């Protein structure tokens, strides 16, 4: 299964240096293009593929209740050490997220730098799961990676129109598309770009 290959690769790469570098990236800069659409009042948030909990801790610091969903044990343990008990952790993985449903629904479901790790079939399986986890009036945010070096094994092309079509089929509709450069200097040098897609369930908030 390709997702298992992705997770094994991350587990092998989870060195202290990688963890420190990942956690040091500034969420304020990462989410700049969609920040005005993030919850202001205290909300229930699911951060899917949370890594070290960098973003989850940022949201928790704003008064939100955050569930950090991360299947790589080394990242979960690092996140607990770095961020204490400000966030709740769940060992669960895409595309099916079998443990997530009992925790939802959520006002915001977030996948930052995750969608490209799913192949076409995996994305088709994942979108209905994510839609069910999103509360009526809530939002789903995806960042779609556009990488000239996508290898088709651990990283797959993530077309915008495909994501929108999958979203429409599950009752989600786009309220923003934003193109950005990579925040990570090495990725930016390689020509990696991102599309941020904000999807609303129902009328949005």
Confidence band (pLDDT; 50, 70, 90) for 151?
low
Average pLDDT, integer, range 53-67: 97
Note the pLDDT of residue 204: 42
* Nearby residues of 24 by Cβ (< 8 Å), 6 or more positions away: none
Say which residue, 59 or 147, is predicted with more confidence.
59
Q: Report the length, in residues, of the chain.
A: 205
**For residue range 32-51, what is the model confidence (pLDDT) as tens digits?**
999 999 999 999 999 999 99
Mean pLDDT, the chain, integer: 89
* Nearby residues of 158 by Cβ (< 8 Å), 6 or more positions away: 115, 116, 123, 144, 145, 146, 195
Q: How far apart are CA 98 and CA 143, in angstroms?
A: 22
**For residue range 73-124, what is the model confidence (pLDDT) as tens digits?**
989 999 999 898 889 999 999 999 999 989 989 999 999 999 999 999 999 9
């Amino acid at each position: 299964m390709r997702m298992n290959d992705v997770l094994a690769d991350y587990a092998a790469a989870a060195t202290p240096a990688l963890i420190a570098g990942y956690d040091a990236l500034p969420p304020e800069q990462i989410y700049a293009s969609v920040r005005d659409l993030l919850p202001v009042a205290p909300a229930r948030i699911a951060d899917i593929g949370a890594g070290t909990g960098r973003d989850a801790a940022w949201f928790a610091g704003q008064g939100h209740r955050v569930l950090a969903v991360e299947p790589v044990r080394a990242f979960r343990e690092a996140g607990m050490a770095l961020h204490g008990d400000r966030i709740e952790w769940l060992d669960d993985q895409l595309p099916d997220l079998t443990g997530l449903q009992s925790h939802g629904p959520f006002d915001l479901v977030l996948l930052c730098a995750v969608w490209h790790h799913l192949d076409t079939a995996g994305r088709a399986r994942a979108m209905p799961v994510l839609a069910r986890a999103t509360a009526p009036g809530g939002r789903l945010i995806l960042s779609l990676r556009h990488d000239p070096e996508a290898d088709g094994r651990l990283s797959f092309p993530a077309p915008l129109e495909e994501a929108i079509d999958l979203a429409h089929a599950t009752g989600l509709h786009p309220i923003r598309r934003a193109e950005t450069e990579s925040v990570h200097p090495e990725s930016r040098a390689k020509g990696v770009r991102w599309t941020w897609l904000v999807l609303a369930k129902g009328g949005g908030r």
